[in-house]
Amino acid sequence: MDAEADFSPPSPAGTPDRGKQRWKRLLNRADKDPSSVLDEPRCLKPRFCESYLELCDGKALAQPTAAKRYAEVAVELAEKIGEPCLENRSRGVLVHAHLANREWAEALEVLNGYEAQSVACCGRCASDFYRRRGDVLVEMRRTMGAKMDLEKSLTELGDELDPHDLAMVCFVRGISHHFNGDVDLAVEDAGRTLLDLRLDSPRGYFHDTLAFVACFLVRGERCHFEKALDFLLRFQERIKGLDGWTDARNRLSWVKGGVYARLGETELAADQFEIARKALLESGPDTHALAVHLDQGMLMARRLHEQNLWALRRLVGACQNRLKLEKKLRRRVNRLEEVLVRKPEKAFAALARLRASFVVSVPGLL
């Protein structure tokens, strides 16, 4: 996958290219077989462990089912190295893995088990602990407790707080604002995440944040869509010309399509949906491809004339012929085709019902 392809860490000054390539090979090997790091003496270095912990956080975002195995190895690796900060952070990635699998009780149990040692260790360990616990509390909808922990996470860093650290907290805090119904603050935190998170962070943080923008805007007003568009365009400039960002660019196009549509920029919306539609038709997942087809279809159905109706039928045909859908969804797509033939004036309502009948990471904004 795009998000998992390259785990090259930033090199210390003076590190030879040969050493960097060796490190990259070790990380790629760990990506395929996490237990390999436990038998390799070259992996028993703190900087390697830090990069492996980043890999584990990426797994929690992209491959939740596998993430626990990677995180359990991280804990064992950190214990073998014997550095307290790494031991604390490794338990943090284990918390993240449980959270990704909605195992809140297990996540809280891990947090309770290392709270005292992490808070007593140093500001950075304490900050990481409070951020992890805040993340769990947000998912449990305990937003007041989450807010307190996220504020502590920032306070613990003091003068060490940098834009990346703040962006990591914003990634979580935006969800808390969303649950509290504050669209403006939620969009603000999502934008800060997109613009200030280091680009060598696990790519899943960016993918999820783009989806969060759409989630936050579901109940948004025009001013929120305008603010979100500004952040999205600035993020687009930030990753312009960079390799390995295809998945993020496709998702960015999808979200921009919805934003442009809500702002009345129909042609720009159509262009962005078309970019996302073609990409997802080739690379999936199929339910995501279906969703963006329906988004584009709803845009067409707003102004239903003969040319748009013909294009809508082609969209539905592509869903029938190119996508592997479960039986229930396929039947709904077939019923949509019947509506377009028999009652085209009800096309928008039928498209909207189908879009709302299944869940994908990017909600519909039309």
Reported as a pLDDT band with limits 50, 70 and 90, residue 91 is very high
* pLDDT tens-digit map of 206-218: 999 999 999 999 9
Mean pLDDT across the stretch 320-336? 94
Rounded percentage of the chain residues whose pLDDT exceeds 70: 95
**Is pLDDT of 8 > 80?**
no
* pLDDT tens-digit map of 181-213: 999 999 999 999 999 999 999 999 999 999 999
What are the structure tokens assigned to 177, written together?
A: 């604002």
Comparing CA positions, the residue from 328, 362, 335 lying closest to residue 351 is: 335
**What does the alpha-carbon distance between residue 199 and residue 197 come to, in Å, rounded to a whole number?**
6
pLDDT given for residue 2 in this prediction = 38
Work out the angle at residue 277's Cα, subtended by the Cα atoms of residues 236 and 65, and round it to the nearest 5 degrees.
80
> Helix (H) and strand (E) counts for the chain?
17, 0
* pLDDT tens-digit map of 101-145: 999 999 999 999 999 999 999 999 999 999 999 999 999 999 999
* pLDDT tens-digit map of 259-299: 999 999 999 999 999 999 999 999 889 999 999 999 999 99
Query: What one-character-per-residue DSSP string does 279-323 give?
Result: HHHHH--HHHHHHHHHHHHHHHHTT--HHHHHHHHHHHHHHHHH-
Is residue 287 within 8 A of residue 360, CB to CB? The reply is: yes
Report the predicted TM-score, pTM, of the whole model to 2 decimal places: 0.91
**Is pLDDT of 30 > 50?**
yes
Distance of CA 289 to the CA centre of its chain: 17
Question: How many CB atoms lie under 10 A from the CB of residue 146?
Answer: 25
Mean pLDDT across the stretch 220-232? 98
* pLDDT tens-digit map of 148-162: 999 999 999 999 999
pLDDT given for residue 18 in this prediction = 63
Ordered by start, the domain boundaries in the chain are 24-145, 162-239, 264-366
**Is pLDDT of 3 > 50?**
no
Is residue 272 within 8 A of residue 256, CB to CB? The reply is: yes
Comparing CA positions, the residue from 289, 176, 185, 194 lying closest to residue 233 is: 194
Length of the chain in terms of residues written: 366
Cα separations in angstroms, 230 against 113, 156, 171, 212, 310: 42, 31, 18, 15, 34
Rounded percentage of the chain residues whose pLDDT exceeds 90: 89
pLDDT given for residue 15 in this prediction = 46
> Residue type for 71, please?
A
Cα separations in angstroms, 99 against 107, 120, 248, 277: 6, 24, 23, 31
* pLDDT tens-digit map of 332-348: 999 999 999 999 999 99
Mean pLDDT across the stretch 66-92? 97
Q: What are phi and psi for residue 198, nearest 5 degrees?
A: -60, 140
Reported as a pLDDT band with limits 50, 70 and 90, residue 22 is confident
pLDDT given for residue 19 in this prediction = 62
**What does the alpha-carbon distance between residue 165 and residue 193 come to, in Å, rounded to a whole number?**
10
CATH 1.25.40.10 applies to domain 24-145? yes
229 sits in the region (left: phi over 0; alpha: psi -120 to 50; else beta) called alpha
pLDDT given for residue 305 in this prediction = 81
